[in-house]
Amino acid sequence: MPVGITAFSRFIGDLHEASGTFDCVSLIDWGVGRILDDLGADAHWCGWATIGRSDVVIHASAAGNLPDDYADFWHTICRDDLLARDFRADSEKTATYARTDSRQTEGMVALADRYGLTRMAAAAEHLTRGRPGFFLSAYRGGPNARDWTSEEKEYLFCGVEHLASAARTKLRGALEDAETRQEVVVLTDQSGTAFIGAKALAAAFGDVLRPDALNTLPGFLREAASTPGRKVYDELDLIVDVKPLRGRRYSGLSHLTVRRRGPLDCLTAREIEIARQVSDGASHKHIARRLEISPATARNHIQAIYRKTRVDNRVALARLVLDAEIQPAP
């Protein structure tokens, strides 16, 4: 099917619908698959990269219908990558390459021949130079692979731009209300480079932290990003949770959630479960039966919860639980 304004309009409509269904990374996977299908590509490589004046740095990537060593081999010839050179010169359009072109480099020939890639087209999210953005390279293989039309190149560029924007909005929310949020999620790697969410983080927590540089998390958050789990920063009244994207194609990426510490964060896991049951209207005897503890122990737990949260009755505690949206313990 020819790629034109009708096909792109359909993609935008379906992207809007998919944004209400998928999480951020799943939305990217859906969008990449849709763009490749519309373009009739045989293989692809995508991920997050920083386009600098002298080089292109790939932070996290995933390949489709290519051997597992593709990214590793690319790093050995990256200085010869003609698509990367074109990006450094002008990142506001789709870069293309053909094995039959007169313009060649030793590394580009090695890449094309090793993986049977006859024609390549690549586009990247347009961001301020030095900021990491999403990129997608589409490939056609075989001796009869057709060239990219101007409509296909425009579709790829605009499709990547809209897909990346939708993924950013999905994860971080609208920037207009970021200052009022108590919690922000950032997509980051283990080095603390933020791919999505840095602006929202600075807006929501500007009173206690600022990024050290563009899309680089502050030092303590960079340290937190290196290992999964929860970290509590008492001096800043912040809670940080780091959850790797398990089972995903983009290895090394994590969701880093920063939120202000609330009155219930001082409770133990057992106390949180009891607080939830109290908010549901359970008596201390009912709680004792559920948890297989004595009524006296249940009563002591409830009194300890009151002291820690500085409330003195069930109604006030239930309000805290509702505000914190505590879920049942797993």
Q: What is the pLDDT of residue 1?
A: 58
- For residue range 122-161, what is the model confidence (pLDDT) as tens digits? 999 987 777 899 999 999 999 999 999 999 999 999 999 9
pTM value is 0.84
Q: What is the pLDDT of residue 211?
A: 63
What value does the mean pLDDT take over residues 59-70?
95
Confidence of residue 248 (pLDDT cuts 50, 70, 90): low
Q: Which CATH superfamily is domain 5-171 in?
A: Transcription factor LuxR-like, autoinducer-binding domain (3.30.450.80)
Contact 39, 160 (CB under 8 A): no
Helix (H, G, I), strand (E, B) or coil at 95: strand
Contact 281, 273 (CB under 8 A): no
Q: What is the pLDDT of residue 213?
A: 65
Q: What is the pLDDT of residue 91?
A: 87
Type of residue found at 313 = N
Distance from C-alpha of 330 to C-alpha of 322, rounded to nearest angstrom: 18
Confidence of residue 329 (pLDDT cuts 50, 70, 90): very low
pLDDT beyond 70 at 325: no
Type of residue found at 10 = R
What value does the mean pLDDT take over residues 31-43?
97
Quick check: do 5-171 and 173-261 share a fold?
yes
Contact 262, 251 (CB under 8 A): no
CATH of 173-261, one of 3.30.450, 1.10.3470, 2.40.128, 3.30.420: 3.30.450
Q: What is the pLDDT of residue 134?
A: 96
- For residue range 185-199, what is the model confidence (pLDDT) as tens digits? 999 999 999 999 998
> Among 319, 177, 173, which Cα is nearest to 257's?
173
pLDDT beyond 90 at 93: yes
Q: Where are the domains of the chain?
A: 5-171, 173-261, 265-324
pLDDT beyond 90 at 84: yes
> Among 152, 150, 125, which Cα is nearest to 139's?
152
Give the highest mean pLDDT range of 3-7, 12-16, 319-323: 12-16
What's the topology of domain 265-324?
Answer: Arc Repressor Mutant, subunit A (1.10.10)
Q: What is the pLDDT of residue 3?
A: 87
Which is it for the CA torsion 132, 133, 134, 138, positive or negative?
negative
Q: What is the DSSP letter of 211?
A: -
